[in-house]
Amino acid sequence: MPGPASVELGENIAKQLNADVLTAEARIFPDGESKIRFGKEVYKENVIIVQSTYPPVDRHLIQLIFMMYWLAKRECSIILVIPYFGYSRQDKEFLKGEVISLQALAQLFSSYPVKHMVTTDFHNISALGYFNFPSYSISAVPAIADYIKKKYELKNPVCVSPDFGGSARAEALANLLNVQSIVLKKERDRITGEVRVAEEDLRVAGKDVIIIDDIISTGGSIAKATRLLKKYGARKVIVTCTHALLVNDALKKMAEQGVDEAIATNCVPSPISKIDISSLIASHLKSL
């Protein structure tokens, strides 16, 4: 069932699974409230909900909760496909007194008859342990690697992770492309949100650099990383991510620092979301 935030992706997944499509239409009231209307009645069915919770995150989340509630009332069992899981980054109490938003959501979701959850490049896979049903994060890296191989003729390429947390992802992409990977040292001020990328001697002169991250939100991390890589002589900077949230002027901010091209998966719809991950999700669902 394609949720209102993921109509195209949900329909693609349904096609590949030969599944019926149950429509869930959203109406947004002038005060911002959402209302969901299902296209037909169901009872005791297995329903896959596809709903990415990208911005406006709270709106897409509440729509998801309404859908789970309606299906639970009809004694359906639910498989959740949440390609981008909003709030996945608030998975700990970083500063004293902070709510662990992800844990709060996991507790809420546990009140519905969810059998499995599938997500894509979840920010910190170990935090899937908050959910009391089996939850799995698919890696979009193979789809990203295929796209890069087909689309670009790169000169001396190297993969870069903007931070330590993304190093395994950059290494996985580097392995698929048969190139080296580099990890930058990024720090974020937990109070101001300001990002700093440590200055170090980077051996990227004359090379084409592929920066890979899970999420591009404001574009700040990528902009800072690109500035440094260009300073050390990178020839071309291609940026890729799974979840292109592209808040405000993220694309402009990155281009101003020298990003030559940006591409993302269609977990989140955006002008750069060119890599289709529906078949990766569908084949995982077939294996359940």
Report the chain's terminal Cα–Cα distance, integer Å: 17
**Of 245, 255, 258, 256, whose CA–CA distance to 218 is shortest?**
245
Number of helices (H) and strands (E) in the chain: give both, helices first. 8, 14
Q: How far apart are CA 22 and CA 88, in angstroms?
A: 27
- Residue 237 CB, nearest distance to ligand R5P (Å)? 15
Helix, coil or strand: residue 47: strand
By CB under 6 A, what part of segment 242-261 binds ligand R5P?
A: none
Q: How far is the CB of 120 from ligand R5P (least distance, A)?
A: 14
Could you give the maximum distance between any two Cα atoms of the chain, in Å?
62
Binding mask 141-180 for ligand R5P (x = CB under 6 A): ---------------------xx-xx--------------
Closer to ligand R5P by CB, 83 or 166: give it: 166
Nearest to ligand R5P of 63, 221 (CB atom): 221
Judge whether 106 and 69 are in contact, CB under 8 Å.
Answer: no
Site map 185..224 versus ligand R5P, x via CB under 6 A: ----------x-----------------xxxxxxxxx---
Query: Quick check: is 186 catalytic?
Result: yes
User: CA–CA separation, 191 vs 96, rounded Å?
Assistant: 12
Q: How far is the CB of 213 from ligand R5P (least distance, A)?
A: 5
| Total interface residues for ligand R5P by CB under 6 A | 14
* Angstrom distance (rounded) from CA 92 to CA 67: 27
C-alpha pair distances (Å), 81 with each of 85, 222, 257, 284: 9, 27, 35, 11
Structure tokens at 184: 């930058």
103 is written with which tokens? 């844990």
Q: Of 221-240, which residues contact ligand R5P (CB under 6 A)? A: 221
For residue 178, which of 197, 154, 203 has the smallest C-alpha distance?
Answer: 154
3-state class (DSSP) for residue 107 = helix
Quote the Cα angle for 9-11-14, to 5°: 110
CA distance 101 to 96: 14
120 binds ligand R5P (CB under 6 A): no
In whole angstroms, how close is the CB of 23 to ligand R5P at the nearest point?
32
Is the Cβ of residue 50 or residue 215 nearer to ligand R5P in the bound state? 215
Q: How far is the CB of 190 from ligand R5P (least distance, A)?
A: 12
Report, in Å, the least distance between residue 80 CB and ligand R5P: 22
Residue 179 DSSP one-character state? -
Q: Which CB, 167 or 218, lies closer to ligand R5P?
A: 218
> Which of the residues 186, 207, 224, 253 is marked catalytic?
186
Q: Which is nearer to ligand R5P, 10 or 162 (CB)?
A: 162
Closest CB to ligand R5P among 51 and 242? 242
Positions touching ligand R5P (CB under 6 A) are 162-163, 165-166, 195, 213-221
Q: Which residues are catalytic?
A: 186
